[in-house]
Structure 1
Amino acid sequence: MNDKREPLKKQIRNTILKTILYSFLSTVGVVIVFILVIKSIDNKYYANYYEAQVPTVESFVHKMGGRLLTYDSTIKEKLDNVIPLSGMNYQVMDTEGNVYYQYKYMHPMEDSSSVVNSINTAKLDEERVTEYIPITNEDNVLIGAVRIQYQIQSIAENIMRYVFLLVFILPFIFIVLFTYLFGGRLWSRIYTPINELLQATNQVREENLSFTLTPKQNDEIGDLTVAFETMKIALQKSLKKQWKLEQDRQEFVDAIIHDVKTPLTIMSANAEILSKKIDESNMKYTKAIRKQVARVTMLVKELVGAEDMPQELMPLKTTFIEPKHYFLQEFQEYQRFIEIKGFLFCIECIDHRESSELVAIDTQRIRQVLDNIISNGVRYTPKGGEISVLLELYSYEVSITIHDSGPGFEFKDIPHIFDKYYQNEDSKRSNNGDQDKGLGLFIVKKIVEAHGGTVEACNKKGACIAFSLPS
């Protein structure tokens, strides 16, 4: 990184100034070059150059007189030297219009009398001038003429006209050019670090902090890069501290759960033995003990589920399963348990697939989802009621709907069913005061979403919970 600080405002101002300065200097340079080029143009390219040579030709013709009508290579050579042949053509003819010799071919005259009538005249035809210079003998009698033609169009003036037009346009051309060059460099200096910051933001959003940002320039963007890197380091430290606290809390909760489950198991076993050895009049006490033990056991299970809930720091352990076989087998195990409890359990499977598709799931977590939903149905459905399961298989997802014939959810509770620790004291789904602590369905939602699926609750003559898993 450059140690010399250069704020963005100064960079933009310098870019504009450089664009203007370079455009001005380039325009001046090109103009000077054109001026030098114009000055170097030969005089023959100006409009009046050949016209100015006519008196010289006339003087030579008068001097030579009738000798011009005597074809002699020496005389023709002298005439060629006097007439500027680069832009002037000629014919030597008598008064009858008979051509003795010429430089380049010229169209013959239409009327021989035109020679006499055209002497000492000039005719303009499409920027080309035709003149007739008289040839006289020693007695000053007209015996012929030199017919000359030359252009009055100025090549140099045309060039200057284009030069002036170009000088007017050049500044705009150079401004566009240098704006593209210098603006592109400035944009690259600004865009590159900003793009790195955007990528870093996306990585933070994806909870990936294993990157390092290094400022490449000493300006406001460099300051922003340093601030972002400082924020990332602080976030890393905060997360590490949070992970340590979470680990300590997890160990503490595991110890508590372990210490609670052991006496619960002993109490449940002793209550079971005691119920077989006492008379019917005292059976209500053992039932109360067993009921409270079951309640506490359920709370411990939900607490275990909440602590083991899949998060980004605890990835799922997925395996590929054939969903139809797996879920039907799971439901059949629930069927035996539920029917012993005195409920009707119905299983329906609809396979919409054209071929069997495997699904990647964490079987332990999905079993926990089924446990929580079905246990809620058993808990809140009256004896003799019905719990039904609908399994629908698609090529893109697996959909499971579990419905019971209990009192259902209260309408005001449905938006909060999956909130952590949510419960309603007046809910019809309470059963003799044994209330859910609001963890079961919260765990269900977290596990299903961790699989990339969705879950929802509604009332259909009882509680209905449906969730889907992507194939």
Structure 2
Amino acid sequence: MDLKGKRSLRSIFIRYILYFILGTALLLFLDMMTFSLMLNSKIVLPANYFEQKIESSRDTILKADIVTKDMIPEGCSYGVYNESGKMLYGNFNSKASQNAWNTIQGNQNSSGRNHYYKVFHRDKQTCIVEYSLTAQFSHPLLRKYFMNPELFIGILFICLFIGEVLLLSARFGRYFSKEMKILMKATEQIKKQNLDFQPEHSDIREIEEVINSLNQMKSALKDSLEKQWNMEKSRKNQISALAHDIKTPLTIIKGNAELIKETCQDAEQVKYNDYILKSADEIQHYLKMLIDMIKSEDTLVLRPVRIETKVFFQKLVDQEKALASEKNLELINEQDKIPEFFYGDEELLYRAIMNVITNAVEYSPKKGKLLFKVQGTEKSLKFLIADSGNGFSKEELEFATEQFYRGDKSRNSKNHYGIGLSIAKSFIKLHQGEIELSNSTKMGGAQVVLKIPLDARI
């Protein structure tokens, strides 16, 4: 997509900085206007108000026999001293009285901390009036219990400034988060392997560039996956066609071999003919498994239902007994803390577990032992199958669940084609579960654990 008209992150940051500067300037202006209005409406007295009031009372203070409190502006303190510096009367406390006299004797009119003094030299007496040069509220109660107006205006500005920062930050955060969500939606769709969506577009140039890159990657990935899917479909079709083509000559071979068996009287020839029939049955069994596997991959759909655990376990045990009867195996069937029910595709789970049980029976020696245990935990349900055979080799522990893998042990088996564990793994993965291979210390042979979660209905 054309990036013209898109804003860069740099321009967006500059815009918000300008907003911040203009907002701060506006706050300063409003602060000053508020203070000015308070002065004009006489809510606040100017900083030199008390100084002017004191000056206006100068003649009264100088001519009066005794300086009284009503001659002094409200909010000011005073003291009348003799020539030796002793305070004769006034409303200074002892510390303030001494501080005021020492300041005047030092030819100063301020003792710091906003304390200023006016001096009136009377007949053998000195009157000192203390005042402040800060704006004050005109109302006495406000002056007594509230902060001075200058501090109030300063705190008001700080509060408004913090509010401005928070407001601009929240607005920028919402704007940027909205644009980032567009990017996250695109990545989420790709993660879900939904490659047919059209991504939304961002107003920010840098994010739009990333979206364009993701769009190109999506298209390339879609083309690659479609090519892979088509190749996989073609491979399955070829295998399926080949399997069906083999069935025709195999049927002819098997039919002729059975005809020879019925008509031939030569014992040696009958013996070799039996080998042909047995091998033909094996090939036929293999082709059936191969065709079933291809069909299951194409049409496999998970249909979870509520499964009664004990009923399902008993169904598996009954089939296990039938399989194990030929080898006269000792069956050990156990249940441990199993839930009353669980959710899953009963048919697929049954096929997965029976594939593992069939392998376990096959690799168990005659009159050996076979352990089948179902165990419940807080979050999962486990189906454990262990035999008393030779166990897995190191290589088999790594590759036994791969399709068509056949380890050394498999080569000695006429009925094993490296498919059973692969099918079991795929069915369990559909249930968001996992398969674990190990060697059983208890039984001495191979051990397979099929585990499915209980915390979701899949």
- When normalised by structure 1's length, the TM-score is 0.66
Kindly provide the amino acid, as one letter, of the partner of residue 431 in structure 1. N
> Would the alpha carbon gap of residues 181 and 326 (structure 1) be closer, same or farther in structure 2, given more than 3 Å must change?
closer
Please say if 1:261 is aligned against 2:241: no
For the Cα contact (< 8 Å) 1:346–1:386, is it kept in 2?
A: yes
- Residues 406-455 of structure 1, C-alpha deviations (whole Å, 9 max, x = no match): 3322234312221334334xx244217x5955333222211122123322
Kindly provide the amino acid, as one letter, of the partner of residue 20 in structure 1. I
- When normalised by structure 2's length, the TM-score is 0.68
Which residue pairs with 2:9 in the alignment? Answer: 8
> Would the alpha carbon gap of residues 373 and 354 (structure 1) be closer, same or farther in structure 2, given more than 3 Å must change?
closer
Please say if 1:442 is aligned against 2:415: no
Q: Distance in 2 between matches of 1:323 and 1:162?
A: 79
Please say if 1:196 is aligned against 2:182: yes
Which residue pairs with 2:340 in the alignment? Answer: 356
Q: Distance in 2 between matches of 1:373 and 1:157?
A: 92
Q: Distance in 1 between matches of 2:380 and 2:33?
A: 77
For the Cα contact (< 8 Å) 2:57–2:71, is it kept in 1?
A: no
Please say if 1:386 is aligned against 2:368: yes
Identity %: 22
Kindly provide the amino acid, as one letter, of the partner of residue 9 in structure 1. R
Which residue pairs with 1:205 in the alignment? Answer: 191
Q: How do 1:204-353 and structure 2 match up within 5 A?
A: 204-209=190-195, 211-265=197-251, 267-268=253-254, 271=257, 274-275=260-261, 278=264, 279-310=266-297, 314-339=300-325, 342-353=326-337
- Residues 308-358 of structure 1, C-alpha deviations (whole Å, 9 max, x = no match): 4558x842234444343344334434543553xx41244443334577325
Larger radius of gyration: 1
- Residues 128-178 of structure 1, C-alpha deviations (whole Å, 9 max, x = no match): 99xxxxxxxxxxxxxxxxxxxxx9655854469955556766775555333
> Would the alpha carbon gap of residues 40 and 126 (structure 1) be closer, same or farther in structure 2, given more than 3 Å must change?
farther
For the Cα contact (< 8 Å) 1:19–1:175, is it kept in 2?
A: no
SS in 2 for 1:47: helix
Please say if 1:48 is aligned against 2:51: yes
50-59 or 453-462, which moves further after superposition? 50-59
- Residues 225-250 of structure 1, C-alpha deviations (whole Å, 9 max, x = no match): 33334433554455455444444444
Q: Distance in 1 between matches of 2:243 and 2:214?
A: 42
Q: Which runs of 5+ in 1 are unaligned?
A: 63-82, 89-120, 130-150
Please say if 1:178 is aligned against 2:158: no
- Counting matched residue pairs gives 392
For the Cα contact (< 8 Å) 1:27–1:174, is it kept in 2?
A: no
Q: How do 1:82-93 and structure 2 match up within 5 A?
A: none
For the Cα contact (< 8 Å) 1:190–1:221, is it kept in 2?
A: no
- Residues 353-374 of structure 1, C-alpha deviations (whole Å, 9 max, x = no match): 57732542241x3344345334
> Would the alpha carbon gap of residues 276 and 44 (structure 1) be closer, same or farther in structure 2, given more than 3 Å must change?
closer
SS in 2 for 1:422: coil
> Would the alpha carbon gap of residues 338 and 298 (structure 1) be closer, same or farther in structure 2, given more than 3 Å must change?
farther
SS in 2 for 1:455: strand
SS in 1 for 2:57: helix
For the Cα contact (< 8 Å) 1:380–1:431, is it kept in 2?
A: no
Q: Distance in 1 between matches of 2:291 and 2:382?
A: 26
For the Cα contact (< 8 Å) 1:343–1:385, is it kept in 2?
A: yes
- Residues 59-98 of structure 1, C-alpha deviations (whole Å, 9 max, x = no match): 9999xxxxxxxxxxxxxxxxxxxx999959xxxxxxxxxx
Q: Distance in 2 between matches of 1:262 and 1:334?
A: 34
Which residue pairs with 1:26 in the alignment? Answer: 27
> Would the alpha carbon gap of residues 35 and 409 (structure 1) be closer, same or farther in structure 2, given more than 3 Å must change?
same
346-355 or 292-301, which moves further after superposition? 346-355
34-43 or 450-459, which moves further after superposition? 34-43
Q: Distance in 2 between matches of 1:235 and 1:124?
A: 94
Question: Quick one: which of 392, 408, 419 aligns to 1:409?
Answer: 392
Q: Distance in 1 between matches of 2:17 and 2:412?
A: 78
Kindly provide the amino acid, as one letter, of the partner of residue 333 in structure 2. C
Q: Distance in 2 between matches of 1:244 and 1:385?
A: 49
- Residues 29-57 of structure 1, C-alpha deviations (whole Å, 9 max, x = no match): 42354356447756898223443343665
Q: Distance in 1 between matches of 2:360 and 2:171?
A: 67
Superposition CA RMSD, Å:
4.4
Q: Distance in 2 between matches of 1:451 and 1:176?
A: 54
> Would the alpha carbon gap of residues 269 and 366 (structure 1) be closer, same or farther in structure 2, given more than 3 Å must change?
farther
